[in-house]
Structure 1
Amino acid sequence: MSEKKPALGFETGLSFRPLPDEVLREFERWREAGRLGFMSLPGDEDLLSASLDLAGLLGPQIDTVVLDGIGGSALGPRALLSACGTRSRRVLITDSPDPRTIEAVKRGCDPRRTLLTVVTKSGTTAETMAVLLDLYEWLPSDIRDSRTVAVTDPEKGDLRKAASDRGWRTLPIPPSVGGRYSVLSPVGIFPAALAGLDCRELLRGAASVSEDFQANGPSSLAARIAACYLEFFRSHPVHVFFAYADCLYDTALWFAQLWAESLGKRLDLSGREVWTGQTPLASRGPADQHSLVQLLMEGPPDKFVTFLRCNARSSALPGGFDGYSSIEWLQGRSLEELRGAEAGATAAALSERGLPVAVLSREGTPCEAFCGEVFMALEIATVLCGLALGVNPLDQPGVERGKILTFKEMGRPGYR
């Protein structure tokens, strides 16, 4: 048994069966076959150094990074940057071809002090390519090629070809790392480094989870999360992921994509129709106590609820409102004390109502190690659940039909 444990805690009063040994063995077979590339990212020093070196080279020339990506190429970096904050250069993420959004980005940036970072593993994503065309033209012609970075497949795709033809700097997304599992690759590491985050600490946090899983198997953090989630997967078809800190709401949105795309499948691994899935719902506490909790408390009892919690520094609230009972009682308390009490009380109320509740938490404010632990734990748990359910947690065939119909609608050659 390993003595090295992640600081991230997983607490629940629920009873659940441990993962079957066969699921753990299957995970290991997939890892040994090179299918789970995200597991190797915390120890890939070459990949880390490539991101850090490029950030060090380009950082002094800019004050803003515009990250052009969608799906995992945007959700992962946004979750990381929201949780930890930016400490040097700002990072703006454009994950929609909404012209108002793109125009607002251009109005708020100095094009001579902006780095365009285009992120797509396939190198063909239509939304990302459209935004590239718009923002590349916006950059001054004398510097645009030196201020464009492509983060993409190391060998194939039109973005890789364009980068080679035009002399753009590039960073690779390993072929064995899917988009929604890519936050610990250059997809997340490069913008994080430019924002001033400690990327080594991020990867150390992730490594503590993967090492714990490798050493401790069914009793590890990631395996316990998977076993608990799996126990209620079919009986509770909605998974509410309640982030009890504003800075963690983007992590809830990241989880929603990870969970939905990985486990929402029509076919199992044998090709049999199963139509499996559990709908994730990203929520923000305490705000959503005033919107969703009524449904959770008195609506259909079909929800599993995960609380993601952390602490924040907060000073005592001032006085001056004696005689106003609804205000006076809060004097001398703190914002953090109220938020923490509400999180605990909401979890207790939902448990009393009979809903299954689990809590992911870590002492202290969100930091790079915290994010690394959360990302790796939930990625491993998601793959374990997929293998236990007999579906492929790495593909997303259901996304393709919409793409094809979009291409037909716009008259793309070969799709009419």
Structure 2
Amino acid sequence: MPTFTNHFNTKTLDPFTLEKGYEALLYEMQSGNIGYYDLPKSSVALVEEITPLRLEIEKYYDTIAVVGIGGSSLGIKAIDRLLRPKTPNAKKIVYFENSDPVSILHEMNRIDKTRTLFIIISKSGGTVETLSIFKRLIITFDLVLDHSQQILIISDEGSILSQFADEYHLRRFVIPANVGGRFSVLSSVGIVPLTLAGFDTLSVLHGAQDFLERFLARKEEHVIQKASYYVTHSARMPMNVLFAYSDMFEEFGKWVVQLWGESLGKRNRCGERVGLTPISLIGSVDQHSFLQLIIEGPLNKTVTFMHIKHSDVELLIPKLSLKYLEKSDFVNGISFNHLINAQCQATMQSVLQSGASVDEIEWDKLDEASIGEMILYYELLTSLSGALLEINTYDQPGVELGKQILAGYFQK
């Protein structure tokens, strides 16, 4: 279970603001308009439903090609990256996301057509990148469409992609209508490909449900405090840095950036532009790049330090002293996990001393339940912040405008 510590002063927070945030989320849950709150429990049935399919495809496929972008891929990649070291026998997952021809060709060259299950994911069903790549895959690999067991569709009920699936008698799974793309990782979007790949998604869901229940029982007040602090200080500190100490958090950080940026960069009721800008860093690498700006640049950022207390990998720094290189001998004989955690703590102390606002997330260990908890934590934090900013957390009018302009380019 992760441990959450807010190092900023919570005593100055307005109790009314804290209650306002909690009541807003309670209303959202009870209204049924926002569906991600139900996913940790409702998706358990989905795992059970696709278990026979998982056993079936194990005979034929060793690779899963996920064709999707944004909310249709980032959460899958995050969980895949975090769990891959402890699930080495999981099927290889290849991702087709961007309309970059170099990347598309590179990923296609990694595929054995006869051993690959293609999963096409688009909530709206009309995502131009996804459909364009799908067309390319059909032609390149000469995919048979009608009654194909090699193509699986995940989309909204009634979308054009779902209609396509029904026309060609393809397997398809539904994304609940009240679940937005960036909040959909615990729906069929993430659960189907990750379960079919061989990951323990039930434990992820159980971890998420446990955290949600503790939140509702007011046993996770730090989430409300953090959202309240961020929003009430957003004029002075409009940026949040997630400084995560493990390469395995790189994809998770990208998922957080989408969740945070697309949800919280909006116009409020008065038409004012508001938002909290997410920045994802990896320690200790970015101690040698971005840290200088945090320490001596403007105090306009909050910083979240994230690290793993216990690692499954015990790799030691050799007790080796090399001529001229004795300067680094003080860490000889300790584990790399000990080193990276010490670097995290030292950096966090330096940032605190600089006057920046800091909070800390310590994973006791990296496992499925902890990942589920962390997904719910960031989703709740996003919803709380959006409610306190008095915006619609769940739309993305700015993104839709860009799509309309793009369509116009090719219709002239």
Superposition TM-score tier, normalisation by shorter sequence: over 0.9
Identity between Structure 1 and Structure 2 (%): 31
Alignment of 1:337 onto 2:338: yes
| 1:39/1:387 CA distance change after superposition, 3 Å | same
* Structure 1 contact 308–360 (Cα < 8 Å) conserved: yes
User: How do 1:127-206 residues align onto structure 2 when only pairs under 5 Å count?
Assistant: 127-142=129-144, 145-153=148-156, 155-206=157-208
Matches within 5 A, 1:355-394: 355-364=356-365, 366-394=366-394
1:3-42 matches, cutoff 5 A = 7-16=1-10, 17=13, 18=15, 19-42=17-40
Corresponding residue of 1:260: 261
Residue 221 of structure 1 deviates from its aligned partner by 4.8
Cα distance in 1 for partners of 2:95, 2:111 equals 13
Q: Does 1:92 align with 2:91?
A: no
2:58 is paired with a residue whose SS is helix
Q: 1:177 is matched by which residue type in structure 2?
A: V
Q: 1:327: Cα distance to partner?
A: 3.8
Question: What is the CA distance between 1:143 and its match in structure 2?
Answer: 7.4
**Given the alignment of the two structures, is residue 46 of structure 1 paired with residue 17 of structure 2, yes or no?**
no
User: In the alignment, what sits opposite 1:112?
Assistant: 114
> Equivalences for 1:291-370 in 2 at 5 Å?
291-310=289-308, 311-312=310-311, 313-321=313-321, 323=323, 324-364=325-365, 366-370=366-370
- Per the alignment, residue 60 of structure 2 pairs with 61
Matched with 1:101 is 103
- Contact map agreement 1:51 1:189 (CA 8 A) in 2: no
> What's the offset of the Cα at 1:239?
0.9
Give the equivalent residue in structure 2 for 1:282: 280
Letter in 1 for 2:59: P
8 Å CA contact retained: 2:228, 2:388: no
- The alignment partner of 1:363 has SS state of strand
Q: TM-score, with normalisation over the residues of structure 2?
A: 0.92
Supply the RMSD in Å over aligned alpha carbons.
Answer: 1.8
Asked if the contact 1:256/1:280 (under 8 Å) is kept, the reply is: yes
* TM-score w.r.t. length of structure 1: 0.92
How far residue 202 of structure 1 moved from its aligned partner, in angstroms, is 0.2
**CA shift at 1:300, angstroms?**
1.2
How far residue 220 of structure 1 moved from its aligned partner, in angstroms, is: 3.4
Contact 1:38–1:181 under 8 Å retained in 2:
yes
Question: Could you tell me which amino acid in structure 2 is paired with residue 77 of structure 1?
Answer: I
Which ranges in structure 1 are unaligned for 5 or more consecutive residues? 1-6
Cα distance, 1:262–1:51 mapped onto 2, change above 3 Å: farther
1:398 is matched with 398
* One-letter code aligned to 1:389: L
TM-fit CA distance, 1:333: 1.4
* 2-structure distance, mates of 1:333, 1:246: 20
In 1: Cα distance, 2:275 partner to 2:167 partner: 42
Local SS of the residue matching 1:329: helix
d(CA) in 2 for partners of 1:362 and 1:141? 43
Change (3 A) 1:112 1:143: farther
SS at match of 2:331: coil
Contact 1:52 1:190 in 2 (8 A): no
> Taking structure 1 as reference, are residues 141 and 401 closer, same or farther at Cα in structure 2, changes over 3 Å only?
closer
Say if 1:293 and 1:252 are closer, same or farther in 2 by CA, change over 3 A: same
Deviation at 1:51, TM superposition (A): 3.9
Cα gap change, 1:12/1:221 in structure 2, threshold over 3 Å: closer, same or farther? closer
Please state how far the C-alpha of 1:146 moved relative to its aligned partner.
1.7
Letter in 1 for 2:137: L
User: Per-residue deviation at 1:193?
Assistant: 1.3
The CA deviation at 1:321 is 2.4
Partners of 1:200 and 1:255 lie apart in 2 by 22
In the alignment, residue 288 of structure 2 is paired with which amino acid? H
Kept after mapping to 2: 8 A contact 1:55/1:190? no
Q: Is the 8 A contact 1:266 1:274 kept in 2?
A: yes
Cα gap change, 1:101 to 1:322, in 2 (>3 Å): closer
Judge conservation of contact 2:7–2:360 (CA < 8 Å) in 1.
no
Give the 3 Å change call, closer, same or farther, for CA 77–352 of structure 1 in structure 2: same
Which deviates more from structure 2 when the two are superposed, residues 123-132 or residues 19-28? 19-28
1:322 shift after superposition: 5.0
Equivalent pair of 1:316/1:334 in contact (CA under 8 Å): yes
Cα separation, partners in 2 of 1:186 and 1:246, compared to 1, 3 Å = same
User: Aligned pairs, how many?
Assistant: 400
> Which residue identity does 2:4 align to in structure 1?
F
